[in-house]
Amino acid sequence: MTESLPTDATPWPAPDTVTCPNCQTDLTYYDPNSSFYACESCHAFFEAAYEQKPRIIQKASNPNPGGGLPTLAIGSEGYLLGEWVRVTGYMLKQEKGTSYRWREYMLLLKNGTTRQLAEYNGHWMWIEPASQKYIISGPTSKSYVINNAGDDYLIYARYQAELLNVVGEFDWNILDDERLTTEEYIAPPRMLVNEKGNSQNDWYEATYVSREDIAQAFGLGTNSLPDTYGVGSIQPNKYAATWTHVVLLTLLAAVTAIVIHLVNIVFRPSGTIFRETLTTVALVPQTNTVDAAQRAIDSASIAQSQPTPKMLRTRSFAIKGPTAVDIEFQSNVDNTWVEFATELVDEQTNQRYIFTEAVEYYHGYSDGENWTEGGTESSATLSKIPSGQYHLEITPYTQYGQQLSFAVNVGQNTSLISNVLLILGLLALYPIYLLFRRSGFENLRWSQSDFGPKTEEE
Amino acid sequence: MMLQKIITAISKSPVYFGFVLVLLGFFAWAEFTGNRIVGDDKYETEKHGYGSGSGGRGYRGRSGFYHK
């Protein structure tokens, strides 16, 4: 991996050593600007500025309070975000009054400036001094920051931190940080951090760094880094990024589908190709000569002996396919019904397309209201009918003794709006899924915050 | 500008783009062949039906009188 890293002829500042005044261990330091040190042997925190005699500031009572050793070893070198960095300090911090703990690493750059890496629940941030002072606007509890780029940064956290463990070198007294109030404003994958004290108001800019990038930067296996839990405060919402692309493609596809449908309507306009009026033959049931008991025993044979409706055959008509064919029946039924068992017959191949369509219309007056049910028209749509000469064979079923006339209309190139609706529905599935996942991701992010959209609404 | 956005979207979501193409291709085929994807009203297609005397046709209509 290191073979692919860019070479940089700029040398690191020459390391030197400082002796711990508590345990006399010689400690290597890498930043000539450092004047505060935490001994990795006795965990004493002391100041050793220039040629002055080292002064112990604090002797650590609990050098390793459950935080473990730093994942990134002091002195290790890496290449991250286009910069050669060296780890010079490590701090384990905890939010006062809570059990939230995170780790911060001091990084020395070759130009002598410093940066920080912060890790919480396996999520990493690169932190550097802000290039400007930001202005907080909005109500105090729901304040946000607007920077020059016009992005809104929503407040995510406000806390005071306490140091639990510290190793390495620093150019300021890190114990003073325990008196600072820190506010974090997020616009993933970026964060603005404001540290405020009595006479201090500093801004820092943070950017999310993936676990894989950290591992690659320092030549580590991802398994050696802390496992990732939950959603990081500025972790990019991968569903939001995907959603943007998918919505664009979906909209394009929807427009394309509608255009295809319109082109089909324009170049293959629908129209009636055949119309004929026919009349049913009234059926009279046979008179039974057997008694009721015998009729009950042999009801099946009696049913078979009843007269069946006469099949009616229409004139021949041509269909230019393949196409969807619409066959409509119209009958002036009045409080009765008629059902058409129908076959569309290809006269060349004798291929038969079979369907049933009913027309029924009822109306009346009950409970003080007029009511109607059904209608005098009904139609069936037959898919993918090939070109050819056709006729219809219709067997109308209705009540005994009833003679009805009906009209049958045949149309071709029927507009299949159901196809358009189906395709639009299918296209919408994935964006809707992503919308839910995106929302769930953000809910998880803000569930770790005392602020956030839901809190604001309350 | 828009073209660049579309190209980016395709490069970022190639699998979904492929799915969309397949879906649109199927839709276009259905449209131009008059194929109703869901809800075809013909329930049977055969070479020899009621009219041919084969007796192979099954009528699914009502078997008795309507009672309101």
What is the reported pLDDT for B49? Answer: 47
Q: Could you tell me if residue A174 is inside a domain?
A: yes
A426/B66 Cβ within 8 A: no
Q: Could you tell me if residue A254 is inside a domain?
A: yes
Compare CB distances from B31 to A260, A360, A400 and report the shortest one's residue. A260
Question: CA B57, B59, B65: angle at the middle one, nearest 5?
Answer: 155
Compare CB distances from B34 to A249, A311, A385 and report the shortest one's residue. A385
Six-digit token string for A359: 């027309």
Question: Using the 8-state DSSP alphabet, how is residue A62 labeled?
Answer: -
Residue-range definition of the domain harbouring residue A381: 271-414
pLDDT for B61 beyond 50: no
Token pair 């080292």 is found at A54
What is the reported pLDDT for A310? Answer: 87
d(CA A38, CA A90): 9
Tens digits of residue pLDDT in A100-120: 999 999 999 998 899 999 999
Paired with A186 in beta bridges are A154, A191
d(CA A16, CA A28): 6
d(CA A414, CA A412): 5
- CATH code for position A297: 2.60.120.380
A260/B28 Cβ within 8 A: yes
Query: Helix, strand, coil % (nearest 5) of chain A?
Result: 20, 40, 35
User: Rounded to a whole number, what is the distance in Å from the CA of A408 to chain B's nearest CA?
Assistant: 16
Q: Does one domain contain both A435 and A314? A: no
Count other Cβ atoms within 10 Å, centred on residue A111.
9
Alpha helix segments (H runs only) across A234-282: 238-267
d(CA B38, CA B32): 15
Chain B environment of A360 (Cβ under 8 Å): 66
B40/A383 Cβ within 8 A: yes
Chain B environment of A321 (Cβ under 8 Å): 34
Q: Does one domain contain both A249 and A297? A: no
Chain B environment of A323 (Cβ under 8 Å): 33-34
What is the reported pLDDT for A346? Answer: 94
Q: Could you tell me if residue A266 is inside a domain?
A: no
Question: Mutating which of A383, A413, A434 best tests the B interface, going by the most B Cβ atoms within 10 A?
Answer: A383
Q: Could you tell me if residue A265 is inside a domain?
A: no
Q: Does one domain contain both A139 and A31? A: yes
Token pair 């943070």 is found at A206
**Counted domains in chain A:** 3
Contact call for residues A245 and B13 (beta carbons, < 8 A): yes
- Asked if ipTM goes beyond 0.85, one says no
Could you tell me which of A55, A65, A177, A157 has the C-alpha nearest to residue A116? A177
A354/B44 Cβ within 8 A: yes
User: Rounded to a whole number, what is the distance in Å from the CA of B25 to chain A's nearest CA?
Assistant: 10
Q: Does one domain contain both A279 and A189? A: no
Could you tell me which of A312, A331, A338 has the C-alpha nearest to residue A398? A338
Compare CB distances from B57 to A350, A354, A382 and report the shortest one's residue. A354
Residues 6+ apart with CB under 8 A from A400: A282, A283, A284, A285, B65
User: Rounded to a whole number, what is the distance in Å from the CA of B55 to chain A's nearest CA?
Assistant: 13
User: Rounded to a whole number, what is the distance in Å from the CA of B4 to chain A's nearest CA?
Assistant: 12
Q: Does one domain contain both A449 and A343? A: no
What is the reported pLDDT for A286? Answer: 64
Q: Could you tell me if residue A95 is inside a domain?
A: yes
Tens digits of residue pLDDT in A303-314: 556 677 889 999
What is the biggest distance separating any 2 CA atoms in chain B, rounded to whole angstroms? 67
B47/A355 Cβ within 8 A: no
- Dihedral of the alpha carbons of B30, B34, B37, B38, in degrees to the nearest 10: 170
Q: State the average pLDDT for chain A.
A: 87
A257/B36 Cβ within 8 A: no
Residues 6+ apart with CB under 8 A from A163: A91, A92, A93, A174, A175, A177, A178
Residues B34-50 as b/e (b if ≥16 CB within 10 A, e otherwise) read: bbbbeebbbeeebeebb
- Alpha-carbon A25 to chain mean position: 55
What is the reported pLDDT for A301? Answer: 57
Q: Does one domain contain both A184 and A318? A: no
Chain A, nearest residue to B16 by Cα: A246
Six-digit token string for A234: 């500025």
Higher per-residue pLDDT: B50 or A447: A447
Q: Could you tell me if residue A263 is inside a domain?
A: no
Six-digit token string for B43: 């329930």
Q: Could you tell me if residue A161 is inside a domain?
A: yes
User: Rounded to a whole number, what is the distance in Å from the CA of A314 to chain B's nearest CA?
Assistant: 13
Instruction: Give the residue ranges of chain A where pLDDT is below 50.
Output: 1-2, 455-458
Q: Does one domain contain both A231 and A342? A: no
